Chain A
Amino acid sequence: MSARDRILAKLRGARPAEPLPRPDPAPHYAARARNESKAEALTRFRAAIEGFHADVHVTTEADWPALLARLCADKGVGTLLFGAQTPAGRRLEPATFAGTTLRPWAGQVEDIKADLFHRVDAGFTQTRGAIAETGSLILWSSADEPRTLSLVPPIHFALLDAAHIHPTFYDALVSENWAAGLPTNALLISGPSKTADIQQTLAYGAHGPKELIVLVINAEGDLQ
């Protein structure tokens, strides 16, 4: 008998004859639904993620590439790593990025590991959406935008469409039926990396990005 069989046999011998009824989280969330407009959701998202030290810039579908170029220049980003095959990635043109080298992700991580850790100043990713309640970005890793793109470079630029802001994490994963198929890595990101492990003193830039900069495409116009 294997350890697996012995553990399962012990549990089988002891479990209740009938499982308990399956809890449904829906009523808890329905009772607290805000029925907010997209504009209100964006305001709430923005306040929450700014509370976690992220920078938020509201922009438009037409203007965001120029804004990204300007922010890269302001931050002194020498090399920006991005996924060239995504809809957003295709909008980035080297001509608009004065002083910043656009580097499309190419090959396996092993091929570019040293550069990724030592020479890339910022990573740019799209997002799948966001969560208003907690100020969280939703990222699903893909072949075009691998896991480390939002993790290793010191600055993470993230592009968010305000139309995809969900009220809660629960609403996001239920309305989009995540259970039907998750990518190998799905993430919620709420601010730059941080720690309070030394005397409960909050410090940013622990092991992940030191800065998180969110560009929000707001079709309903600039609210701020």
Chain B
Amino acid sequence: MSAQANTTGKDAGQPIAFVSAQALRARMHDAVNDPHLRTSFRGAMDFLMAKRAAQFPDADELDSLRSLSESIRQYSLSKLPDLLEQLEANLTRNGVQVHWAETPEEANAIMLGIAQRHQAKLIVKGKSMVSEEIEFNHAMETAGVGALESDMGEYIVQLAGEKPSHIIMPAIHQTKQQIAKLFAEHIPGVDYTDNVDALIQIGRRVLREKFEVADIGLSGVNFAVAETGTLCLVENEGNGRMCTTVPKVHIAITGIEKVVEKLEHVAPLFSILTRSATGQAVSTYFNMISGPRRGEDKDGPEEVHLVLLDNGRSQAYADEQLRKTLQCIRCGACMNHCPVYTRIGGHAYGTTYPGPIGKIVSPHMMGLEQTHLLPTASSLCGACGEVCPVKIPIPELLIRLRGEANSEPHAKPAMRGQGAGHSTLVSFVWRMWARVHARPGSYRAFSWLATRFRAFTPTRQGGWTAARTPLQPAPRRLRDMVKDRR
């Protein structure tokens, strides 16, 4: 780790690795039993839901804008390979270098190559969930290049040695007292203060020094416009502009699904993004970058690179239903409205992307072997689908993924890890259950036996009896009671 990156307070060799999603149940149990975590998430989610609702007073306008946004995303996906080529051609014409990566390793290698070519010691980062997805910070620090988060929330999370617990508000799980302690411990010369304005000014001071000296700025991309070769970034703090403007090199990284064809398609998506995400009519900055410093320009990076990452997205693309996953514009409204997310917070999921969108996108990135339990962490209440600005049918996709996870492994799976959750016993029980119910005679016999031997029903019925009285068949069958009435 370079001297510049010491403010992160992390040991260089220590990866911020997530535990496998196999441990999901244990983690959820712990989260649900943490009253502090539940109170803070409940409060934050109520606040965000109210703010979003206030942005859509006109139900017709919301409906029309959602339909328009959905159709723009679906249209873009229907032409995805062509649009990616058009984007590449126009970015290249604008002087932006385009790179393609199938895996996180490839993406990190490309970016490390750029860093090493420039003998970079410090990379300042604007908020990028894709960089989290590929463990960019760890990859850079392993190679001796400092990677410093500059979004206030991301900076806090990096100081704490954690991962974001929300895709829009990364440090939503931290209280101001915890942040005050972190700052006092990790930033030289800073005394404890839990005044939010003072804390932000401390962050501003520390990070401004870094913007000034950093060799490379890294950012994500909210929308990439094919027809103009433009990268659009949405932000409030100005750190995204700093990272993409001040250092000599700007590297943007994004998933291959973020492209739209027309510049005019960006306007409705931008509007519904900020209103759905944080309940803002607009973000402070909307930054449209169409190339490095050019001609008479006096500032801006001398090199701009775009890394296009697949990492499982082409797998989702290959299936008509699963392709809808890629409509996502990463607003986070689904997590703000999710009763499960509200109760367990973002870390319990064990994936880069938490909440409902995380449950449908992570299996493509990580395979169902690691993630087959994720789609079960849902009550299928439908809130996520109802608020999704691009109408992704998240509950339907969760059911589909449950099927992919638990069906018998077969030769032509739509997903990596199909059948990972399959159990021969469970599938045998359900086959028998189906057989019994499919024939009137066997059903009659089964229900007769169930009422006669009801006393033998086990009193401990797994998770059900943890908080409820045991289930027991009724003493008499419905058919017998109906017969008596006649």
Contacts and interface: CB of A to CB of B under 8 A. Distances in A.
Main secondary structure of the interface of A (DSSP, over half): loop
Contact of A11 (B81, B175, B264): B81
Given A6-B102, A191-B284, A13 B318 contact: yes
B241 A147 contact: yes
Contacts of B78: 15-16, 18-20
Given A141-B297, A143-B295, A15 B286 contact: no
A28 B237 CA distance: 30
A185 B319 CA distance: 37
A105 interface: yes
Contacts of B271: 134, 169
Q: Which 7 A-B pairs have the closest CB atoms?
A: A208-B238, A143-B296, A197-B153, A109-B299, A206-B237, A134-B282, A193-B238
A207 B284 contact: no
B176 A197 contact: no
B75 A14 contact: no
Interface stretch (B11-19, B61-69, B391-399): B61-69
A221 interface: no
Range, interface on chain A: 35 or more
A194 B237 contact: yes
8 contacts: A3-B102, A3-B106, A20-B74, A25-B68, A142-B296, A169-B270, A184-B294, A206-B200
Interface string B296-315: 11111000000010100010
A188 B151 CA distance: 19
A197 B74 contact: no
Contact of A193 (B236, B293, B308): B236
Nearest to B304: A184
B146 interface: no
A22 B75 contact: yes
Tell which of B150, B241, B262 has the most Cβ of chain A within 10 Å: B241
Interface in A10-39: 10-16, 18-23, 25, 28, 31-32
A170 B294 CA distance: 27
Contacts of B68: 23, 25, 28
Given A15-B80, A23-B75, A148-B245, 7 more contacts: A10-B317, A147-B299, A178-B228, A185-B290, A197-B152, A207-B241, A208-B241
A216 interface: no
Interface string B150-186: 1111001000000000000111101110010000000
B236 A200 contact: no
B201 interface: yes
A113 interface: yes
B284 A201 contact: no
Nearest to B65: A28
B242 A20 contact: no
Given A19-B75, A193-B237, A25 B265 contact: yes
A190 interface: yes
A62 interface: no
A108 B196 contact: no
A217 B68 CA distance: 36
Contacts of B314: 7, 10-11, 14
A195 B285 contact: no
Nearest to B170: A197
B208 A200 contact: no
Contacts, number: 253
B284 A182 contact: no
Contacts of A188: 282, 285-286
A205 B152 CA distance: 12
Nearest to B227: A179
Contacts of B179: 198
Interface in B247-291: 256, 261-268, 270-271, 278, 281-291
B85 interface: yes
A134 to B, nearest CB: 4
Nearest to A143: B296
A10 B318 contact: yes
A206 B300 contact: no
B264 A174 contact: yes
B100 interface: yes
A101 interface: no
B403 to A, nearest CB: 20
A10 B208 CA distance: 43
A47 B266 CA distance: 24
A3 B106 CA distance: 9
Contacts of A20: 71, 74-75, 78
Given A134-B281, A141-B300, A147-B299, A187 B288 contact: yes
A195 B236 contact: yes
Contacts of A187: 241, 285-288
A107 interface: yes
Contacts of A89: none
Tell which of A6, A22, A48, A117 has the most Cβ of chain B within 10 Å: A22
Nearest to A111: B298
Interface string B76-112: 0011111011000000001000001110001000000
A59 interface: no
Contacts of A4: 100
Given A173-B263, A179-B263, A147 B100 contact: no
B268 A14 contact: no
A184 B300 contact: yes
B349 interface: no
A11 B79 CA distance: 9
A111 B318 CA distance: 51
B333 interface: no
Interface string A136-157: 1000011100111001100000
A146 B238 contact: no
Contacts of B101: 3
A8 interface: yes
Contacts of A105: 298
A146 B101 CA distance: 33
A196 B81 contact: no
A52 B274 CA distance: 14
A222 B310 CA distance: 55
Contacts of B236: 193-196, 206
B196 A173 contact: no
Given A186-B290, A208-B285, A179 B228 contact: yes
A97 B80 CA distance: 55
B216 interface: no
Contact of B152 (A7, A147, A174, A195): A195
